[in-house]
Structures are given as C-alpha cells and as structure tokens.
Chain A
Amino acid sequence: MEHPISSPTNPLAACPVAVRNGGQPLPGHVLQLDDSNPLPLDCGVDLAPVTLAYQTYGTLNADRSNAILICHALTGDQFPAEPHPITGKPGWWETIIGPGLPLDPNRFFLICVNVLGGCMGSTGPASTNATTGQPYGVSFPVITIGDMVRGAMRVVDSLGIDQLFSVIGGSMGGMQVLKAVAAYPDRVFSAVPIATAAHHTAQNIAFHEVGRQAIMADPEWCNGDYQLYDRQPSRGLAVARMTAHITYLSEPALHRKFGRNLQDRDKVNYGFDADFQVESYLRHQGSTFVDRFDANSYLYITRAMDYFDIAVEHGEGSLAKAFMGIKTRMCLVSFTSDWLFPTSESRAIVHALNAAGAPVSFVEIETDKGHDAFLLEEPEMFRTLQGFIDGAARARGLAQ
C-alpha cells in the first residue's frame, strides 16, 4: 500500500509521548542504556540505545531493603499513584498505593517502570531507530515478558538495589512478577502475582489476535509506518481496546452496569448508532484509549504476553521445575469471576510452587467484577495484601 509521506521529520516520530503530553516532558525518571551497555533481548538482538522511563514513590532505606517493584499491565504505565499526565485520570493503582494502604510510600520505596515496548517514555516501536533516524514501527524487535523484566532489573541495578523486598503486579504485571521470581530468585524476597497465569491460553492468544488484526486492518496503520505518514490507526486500536475491555469484565458486571438499557433514548432506532448503553460505553473506552496509547506498542506488548510460558522458559516444560528451590515468599490472588485469567491458572502455579517446596499463599477473592477486579475497590484483597506484606516485612526485618 502506497502512502504519501507528509513529513519525514514528523514530531510525532521524534518524541511521541511528549507530543501526546502537550510538548511537556513526563514526570519521573529515565534510565538511558547506550551502545556500550545494550539490553540483550530474547530474540537475539542487543538493543541500544534504550530508554526506560520509571517513577518512584517513597524513600529507599539505608540498607536498601525496602524496595518494591510494581509491574504494570498491558495498557498500564509507570504512574500507578498519581494523575495520568495525559488523561488526568487517577493513577491506576491508587486503591492500594498510599499512606496506610498495603503499598505505603512511608514504609517502602516503590518503583514502577514503563515496560520495554511501551509508549510512555520507554523505548518501543514508536521510538526513533538511531540507525535510520525514523520510527521503528514494525522493525522494532519482538520483545518478551523476560525482556521487560530484564529492563526493569536494569533500573533496579541503577538504583543500587541488590534484592527487592517485593515484586507485585496484576495480569501482565503478574506475568512479570512470575518471570522475576523464576529468572532472579535471589533478588526477589517476596512476590505477589495477581490475576495472572504462567502462560497464555489459546483463548487469551485468540482475543489478542482479534485486537491485532483490528489494528492491522485499519488502512491508517500503513503497515506499521503510520507515524511516517502522520496518521493514526485510531479505529483499529479502538476496536482492539473494545474487544479487550469485554474480556476484563464479567457478564454479571456488564449486566449490573448496563443491562439492556438504552443510551439517551426511549426506544431502539432501527439503525447502527449506539442504541445500547453498553455500546456507548465501549465506544467511549475505545476512543479515549487511542489518545494515550500507541497502536504498534499494543501489537508488541500483546505479542509478548502470547509468547510468555514460564514452564518452557525455565523448567523444560515443567512449571514445578521452573520454580524449584525458590525461597521467595509468594502470595497469589485470583478472582472468582475472572474468566480471562481464571482461578484454575493461579491454582496451577500454586500446585507447582507447592511441588517445588516454595512458601506460597493463595487466596481467591469472591467478586463479580471480573479480571479488572485487581484494579478496583476489593477490601478482601487489600486485607490479604496488607497481611502478606506485613508478614514478609517482619521476616525481612523491616520496621512496621
């Protein structure tokens, strides 16, 4: 497909995040890895230069033992506890981060890194390829969950932290937690993988493929080079988001929220407008998402999740073997109505950890909110996290 190049020095290509942020730099910090210090990727590429954008809350204690790495999910970012710099919406995990909450910045030094391949300041497909001077687009190397964690650990290294007190995250964040435990068992004292799985199921991959195909079917995608042509595959990305959003909710939650209620009308209008509230809601979810997320990042990050299989990566196909000999204290959390990462997936990890002799706790929280419950007000989850973190802090010798 031929597209006229509107501007080879398109500012969107130079610094897409800053453009989306009104020309302002993002809050937080960056770690730069130059050619002398490349990031080796699972695909075999040594990537350089690499920028990793991260945010921290709280203070690192004198013996550097109170650091917690917070891993974000597919469409999350490094701002879990402050207003989103672009949308102005509350941080995605303000429910559990804050004074008196399980992740208390008065007790812990909290680190959150924008994943490699992301679009909030870390190097990703929207970044400029130093060799060509143009955005990577789909020439960006395919990244994995392992690559994301390797990048995050570079940030941890740069902060002079040998062992993290804890690594915590939900969904794709939980995958990073599992990866961190399997790949760096001595550097992770405790770990909390929430609403996650040790690999993506065929169903998980299938939903992601629908999302990717929606993006790639949008003519504005331009074979991944939309930045060069000053275009945005907004419709494709919005459809991807709409599809994914359905998987984050449960049927009862959708029913409770919308039922078959009509949107600003008394009767159906025999057309294809958003007659139903649920349609209007999804359209809104899709259209606001494209303002803050890059379509190619969505392709790369969903791919990373699809490739993830910790049993293959660390245990020759055996999950128990992948975790053999691990001393990390672990607490898994699942939700009864989560059908994207159902309890059975967490249970399989728990069984493997038991077989490996690792200290593991596992709670299933009863809720009808579906997969997204890990981001929402779930008092029982908060109590569990508080108890687990307090217990681990005692074992680590951290003051209350």
Chain B
Amino acid sequence: MIEPAVEVRPDLQIVADWIAPGTRVLDIGCGYGGLLAHLVREKGVDGRGIELRRSKVNHCVAAGLSVIRGDANHDLSLYPTGSFDYVVLTQTLQAVEEPRTVLEELIRIGGHAIVSIPNFGHWRIRLSLLVNGRMPVTEMLDQPWYETKSIHFCTIRDFLDLVDVMGLTIEQSVVLTSSGKPSPAPATSSRANVWGEQAVFMLRRG
C-alpha cells in the first residue's frame, strides 16, 4: 500500500496544488515520499524521487514509489533535458553546494521548477541575531551553525535577485507565515521578507 503522506508540511500542500494531473514529476530530496505518494494517488502523476538518506529511499520503495538514492549536487546531470514536467526541490536549495547550478539544472530537466526556501529574513531570525548576537536556531533551521546542512542561507529578497540574474520567470509564488498559513503579501513585497517564514516558487525559463 502507498502509505498516507507522513509530511503535512504546508509548503508541500501548495506544491501539490500547483501540479497538474497526469504529469511527470521529479521530487529531489523526496524524504519519506509523502508528496510523491500524494501526487501519484490523487493526481495520477508519473512520479520519481531522489533521496540521499538510505533509510528514506528504502521506505519509499517499500511504499511502491519509484525512488533512487542520489543527491542534488551530483546526480541531476544524468537526467535528460525536458524529461519531466515539474522538478520539485523543497527546503533543500540552501543545503546544496551550488544553488545556482542546481536551479539551472531544475529548469533544464523540467519545464517548471518548484522550489521552496526557508526565509532567513524572517523577523524572528532578524530579532534573534540582533538581540542575541548569535546565529539563530529556529524550528525550521533547527541545527547550530556547525552542524546545520544549510550552508547557503538566503532571504526571499536574495532569492528574487538570483531569479532575476538568471532571467527566470516566477509563475507562481506563495509566502507562508510561521503559522503555516499563506500570507496575503506578494513574495516581492518587503512585508513578505519580514513576515514570511518560507516561500514557495514555481519558475520557468524566460
């Protein structure tokens, strides 16, 4: 049996809503396969996953999902151009070695790249750094600086700059507050960069 989605992360719900039924989806860093299982079950997508952690890969395959062990830093070049309709990378861009290269690869492989990022510009992080003078440890970024996998922090505004430099088009965007609710503020607003704890984007070239 495909097990029910174990993740109920709000960004994943948004991703799931954006993806059209019956399409080809590659989920990079698919974890326990919650999003993939949901998409396969509810939307009939041809879903594939890549996951670094062996135990998670094995969990996915045991749940009947097409998942391989691999990582965003090394294995994306193996996929042919345009081989998927959507390539999904949730909460992972800040942890890859070369975020820009990875983003290029997502766009190359899929017509649409769906990316969610934690916002380092969130007010709580700003306040924590201002008051404590230490690298913030929050619920989303829950490791101290010497242990965190997140090596390329950015704010929503930083991310928008990169999208601009790369000449990408934002097709969809949603900013989520710390309660997990979508913020009415557009992603491009200064308010979003303060109140948004994370943001989800759907991008394409040109």
Residues of A within 8 A of B (CB): 329, 331, 350-351, 354-355, 357, 359-366, 380, 383-384, 386-388, 390-392, 394
CB distance A355 to B48 under 8 Å? no
Q: Does B105 contact A (CB under 8 A)?
A: no
Contacts A354-B79, A355-B79: A384 and B66 contacting too (C-beta < 8 A)? no
Count residues of B near A (Cβ-Cβ below 8 Å): 22
User: Contact: B83 with A357, CB < 8 Å?
Assistant: yes
B54 close to A (CB within 8 Å): yes
| A153 to B133 alpha-carbon distance, docked (Å) | 70
Within the complex, the shortest CB–CB distance from B52 to chain A, in Å, comes to 12
A351 touches B66 (CB 8 A): no
Q: How far is it, in angstroms, between the C-alpha of A355 and the C-alpha of B61 when the chains are bound? A: 19
11 contacts between A and B (CB under 8 A): A329-B66, A351-B75, A351-B78, A360-B48, A361-B66, A363-B54, A363-B58, A364-B54, A364-B69, A366-B54, A384-B58
CA distance in complex: A331, B64 (Å): 10
A363/B66 in contact, CB under 8 A: no
Give B contacts to A, CB under 8 Å.
Answer: 1-2, 46, 48, 54, 57-58, 60-69, 75, 78-80, 83
B69 to chain A: which residues have CB within 8 Å? 362-364
Q: How far is the CA of A392 from the CA of B66 in the complex (A)?
A: 10
> How close is A335's CB to chain B, nearest CB, in angstroms?
12
Given A363-B57, A363-B58, A383-B58, A354-B68 contact (CB < 8 Å): yes
**How distant is the Cα of A83 from the Cα of B176 in the complex, in angstroms?**
62
Is the beta-carbon distance between B68 and A391 smaller than 8 angstroms? no
Bound together, the chains give a CA A103 to CA B49 distance in angstroms of: 25
Additional A-B contact list (16), CB under 8 Å, known A359-B66, A363-B61: A351-B75, A355-B78, A360-B48, A361-B65, A362-B61, A362-B67, A362-B69, A363-B69, A366-B54, A380-B58, A384-B58, A384-B61, A387-B61, A387-B62, A390-B1, A391-B63
**C-alpha spacing A351/B75, complex, angstroms:** 8
Whether A391 and B54, one on each chain, are in contact in the complex, defined by CB atoms closer than 8 angstroms, is no
B64 and chain A: residue at smallest CB distance: A391
Residues in A with CB closer than 8 Å to B78 are 351, 354-355
Please pick, from A354, A380, A391, the residue contacting B2 in the complex, using a CB distance under 8 A.
A391
CA distance A363 to B62 in the complex (A): 10
- For residue A386, which residues in chain B have a CB less than 8 angstroms away from its CB? 62
A350 touches B68 (CB 8 A): yes
Measured CA separation A388–B69 after assembly (Å): 15
CB distance from B34 to the nearest CB of A (A): 15
Known contacts A383-B62, A384-B58, A386-B62; is-contact A362 B2 (Cβ 8 Å):
no
A384 touches B46 (CB 8 A): no
Provide the residues of chain B in CB contact with A360, threshold 8 Å.
Answer: 48, 66, 68
Beyond A354-B78, A355-B78, is A361–B61 a contact (Cβ under 8 Å)? yes
Q: Is the interface of B mostly helix, strand, loop or mixed?
A: mixed
- A331 & B61 in contact (Cβ 8 Å cutoff): yes
Contacts of A391 in B (CB 8 A): 2, 63-65
Q: Which residues of A contact B80 (CB under 8 A)?
A: 355, 357
Provide the residues of chain A in CB contact with B2, threshold 8 Å.
391
Residue of A nearest to B46 (CB): A359
Residue of B nearest to A331 (CB): B61
User: Which residues of the partner chain B approach A359 to less than 8 Å between Cβ atoms?
Assistant: 46, 48, 66
* CA gap between A392 and B2 in the complex, in Å: 11
Complex: A199 Cα to B196 Cα, angstroms: 52
Of chain A, the residue at the smallest CB distance from B63 is A387
- Chain B nearest CB: distance from A399 CB in Å? 13
User: Which residues of chain B come closer than 8 Å to A361, judged between CB atoms?
Assistant: 60-61, 65-68
Bound Cα distance A53, B189 (Å): 73
Alpha-carbon distance A329/B65, docked complex (angstroms): 10
Q: Across the interface, do B62 and A384 meet the contact criterion of CB distance under 8 Å?
A: yes
The residue of chain B having its C-beta at the shortest distance from the C-beta of A392 within the complex is: B64
B61 touches A388 (CB 8 A): yes
| Assembled-state Cα–Cα distance A381/B57 (Å) | 12
Chain A residues, CB < 8 A from B48: 354, 359-360
A354 to B80, CA, bound (A): 8
Min Cβ gap A30→B in Å is: 37
Hey, which chain B residues are within 8 Å of A365, CB to CB? 58
Q: Which residues of A contact B54 (CB under 8 A)?
A: 363-364, 366
Cα(A393)–Cα(B75), bound, Å: 29
Q: Which of B46, B57, B64 contacts A388 (CB 8 A)?
A: B64
Chain A neighbourhood of B79, CB < 8 A? 354-355
Smallest CB separation, A353 vs chain B (Å): 9
List A contacts of B67 (CB < 8 A).
361-362
| A388 CA to B193 CA, complexed, in Å | 43
Give the 5 A-B CB pairs with smallest separation, nearest first.
A391-B64, A387-B62, A362-B68, A361-B61, A383-B62
In angstroms, how far is the closest chain A Cβ from the Cβ of B63? 6
Measured CB to CB, the closest approach of chain A to B79, in angstroms, equals 6
Question: What CA separation (Å) do A72 and B2 show in the bound complex?
Answer: 30
Pair B64/A390 contact, Cβ less than 8 Å: yes
Docked complex Cα distance between A126 and B137 (Å): 72
List residues of chain B with CB within 8 A of the CB of A363. 54, 57-58, 61, 69
Docked pose: A361 CA to B1 CA in angstroms: 16
Closest to A357 in B: B83
CA–CA, A239 to B38, complex, Å? 54
Q: How far, in whole Å, are A282 and B116 apart by their CA atoms in the complex?
A: 56
